[in-house]
Amino acid sequence: MAERLPTLIVGGGIGGLATALALARCGRPVHVVEKSPEFGELGAGLQLAPNAMAVLDRLGVVGALAAHAVHPRRLVWMDALSAERITEIDLGEAFRRRYCQPYIVMHRGDLLAVLLEACRQERLITLEPGREIAAIEDLGDAACARAVDGRSYEAELLIGADGLHSAVRPLISDDALVFDGLVAYRGTIPIERMSAHAGLDNVVMWVGPEMHFVQYPIRRAELYNQVAVFRSRRYTPDSDDWGTPEELDAHYAQTCDYVRGSLTLMWRDKHWPMVDRKPLASWVRNRIALIGDAAHPMYQYIAQGACQAIEDALALAVSVARSSGDVVKALAAYDALRTRRAARVQLTARAMGALFHLDGVAAAMRNEMMAARAGDDYAPLDWLYGYRL
Ligand SMILES: Cc1cc2nc3c(=O)[nH]c(=O)nc-3n(C[C@H](O)[C@H](O)[C@H](O)COP(=O)(O)OP(=O)(O)OC[C@H]3O[C@@H](n4cnc5c(N)ncnc54)[C@H](O)[C@@H]3O)c2cc1C
């Protein structure tokens, strides 16, 4: 017998828990299944821009986040070869006034812990870790999810918040992940081990030929987060033997002393192929909808994957609240609110990668043009950071 539920969320990452909270705050009971034995996050740093902070504020968790957040002073672009400053965005008072929210950086585990605690305090949310969903069926007037251990659930509304390799997405699209030969190494170190070349209180983005290197402080500035990305020349679609630590070192050999020195502090035991997908025209089928990376996986180059998942959460809850119990109508409204915006963010992340990774004359032109912009020229960012539901 299937367990009957008003709402089932498959996946308890940042997107799934934010959605559970948003729906419960609107009065809807939610059950979350998560395949890992514990709710938690892999990886380290996360940047949260004002568009996501505005949602987290509405969900009532900004106070709890404050204990873990770092408020960087600037987003700085540096040339990874010449060590010259290219441009910056001032994240100070004028930025906060414009967007009515700060730009923060934090440990992603701390964000998940805050969301988890808020979910545990919500009587309308039940959390079930250690339950992996193997198959989803669209029954028309309900959605059925079957776990690997045979347990099944029948839900009036089913949300696929199960990330990049979503088990729910195949019901909506048969598209494939897009690999581009790019790979990321990431990790944290105690902040005392870093020298303050580009400012330890900034988010610093070193850009260079087919590579970029991101650095920022997290966890009350006790830790320093680093992400090194490069394009592997050994990439082929039918092999896993690419993006090795040796290739990382060889690719970064061209960079300035500071970047090469910082790279020696990186973890080498694990690396992540960078993938995205082409935007979909719809994330909905009857009573089933996708959110977060299951709906719109994107390159992390403009630090918006989780921010968009958080925007999805509120959009879904608002759509459900406005549809007087009509789930199909609610999901159509959610689709209309979200797909075009997330597609623009996905495509912008790709385009930004192309800009980071330029070489030679094209890189010199990029640097010259960007040097001309003022640190408080926020207008081009309004569509992204100023978005509110
Ligand atoms: C290097 C890097 C840096 C990034 N930096 C940023 C940043 O600074 N800012 C930003 O906004 N974004 C950033 N992102 C993107 C961000 O991490 C993701 O977009 C975000 O985590 C997506 O959240 P999600 O909840 O949709 O998916 P996930 O985090 O993937 O969560 C999915 C959850 O579903 C569970 N699950 C999967 N399958 C099943 C199943 N079958 N049954 C049950 N449970 C299941 C998983 O265990 C997981 O807990 C970065 C990404 C990378 C790779």
* pLDDT tens profile 240-278: 889 999 999 999 999 999 999 999 988 888 899 999 999
In the block, residue with structure tokens 């909905």: 284
- Catalytic residue, chosen from 103, 185, 216, 299, is 216
The torsion region of residue 140 among left (phi > 0), alpha (psi -120 to 50) and beta comes to: left
Contact between residue 375 and residue 90 where contact means Cβ atoms under 8 Å apart = yes
* pLDDT tens profile 175-191: 999 998 999 999 888 88
Backbone φ and ψ of 76, nearest 5°: -115, 135
pLDDT score recorded for residue 300:
92
216 is catalytic: yes
Percent above pLDDT 90 for the chain: 88
SS3 111: helix
Q: What average pLDDT does this structure show over 272-294?
A: 96
In the block, residue with structure tokens 């609610």: 330
Q: Which residue's CA lies nearest to atom 26 of ligand 1?
A: 292
Residue 271, judged by CB atoms within 10 A of its CB (0-12, 13-18, 19+), counts as buried
pLDDT confidence bin for 44, thresholds 50/70/90: confident
d(CA 339, CA 337): 7
> By C-alpha distance, which of 84, 53, 56 is closest to 71?
53
Contact between residue 241 and residue 234 where contact means Cβ atoms under 8 Å apart = yes
> By C-alpha distance, which of 302, 332, 297, 299 is closest to 315?
332
36 Cβ inside 6 Å of ligand 1? yes
Supply the angle between the helices 305-321 and 14-25 in degrees, to the nearest 10. Answer: 20
Kindly report the length of the chain. 389
Q: Is the pLDDT of residue 203 over 90?
A: yes
Q: Which atom of ligand 1 is nearest to the CA of 292?
A: 26
**Whole-angstrom Cα Rg for the chain:** 21
SS3 202: coil
- For the chain, give the mean pLDDT: 95
Q: What average pLDDT does this structure show over 150-161?
A: 98
pLDDT confidence bin for 147, thresholds 50/70/90: very high
Q: Which atom of ligand 1 is nearest to the CA of 39?
A: 49
* pLDDT tens profile 108-136: 999 999 999 999 999 999 999 999 999 99
Q: Is the pLDDT of residue 283 over 60?
A: yes
> By C-alpha distance, which of 178, 158, 177 is closest to 168?
158
Q: Which atom of ligand 1 is nearest to the CA of 227?
A: 1
Q: Best of 32, 33, 34, 356 to mutate for ligand 1, by most ligand atoms within 8 A of CB? A: 34
Q: What average pLDDT does this structure show over 309-336?
A: 97
Q: Is the pLDDT of residue 156 over 80?
A: yes
187 Cβ inside 6 Å of ligand 1? no
Q: Is the pLDDT of residue 198 over 70?
A: no
> By C-alpha distance, which of 52, 111, 48, 46 is closest to 388?
52
Q: Is the pLDDT of residue 43 over 80?
A: no
Question: And the tokens for 90?
Answer: 């001032």
Contact between residue 108 and residue 236 where contact means Cβ atoms under 8 Å apart = no
Lowest mean pLDDT across 10-14, 42-46, 361-365, 377-381 = 42-46
10 Cβ inside 6 Å of ligand 1? yes
pLDDT score recorded for residue 199:
64
d(CA 312, CA 90): 27
User: Maximum distance among all alpha carbons in the chain?
Assistant: 66
> By C-alpha distance, which of 199, 266, 274, 167 is closest to 231?
274
Question: And the tokens for 257?
Answer: 């002393």
pLDDT score recorded for residue 312:
98
Contact between residue 211 and residue 250 where contact means Cβ atoms under 8 Å apart = no
303 Cβ inside 6 Å of ligand 1? yes
d(CA 37, CA 34): 8
pTM of the entire structure? Answer: 0.97
> Ligand 1 centre from 14 Cα, in Å?
7
pLDDT score recorded for residue 196:
64
Lowest mean pLDDT across 34-43, 128-137, 349-358 = 34-43
Concatenated DSSP letters of 120-131: HH-TTEEEEES-
Q: What average pLDDT does this structure show over 102-108?
A: 96
pLDDT confidence bin for 1, thresholds 50/70/90: confident
pLDDT confidence bin for 197, thresholds 50/70/90: low
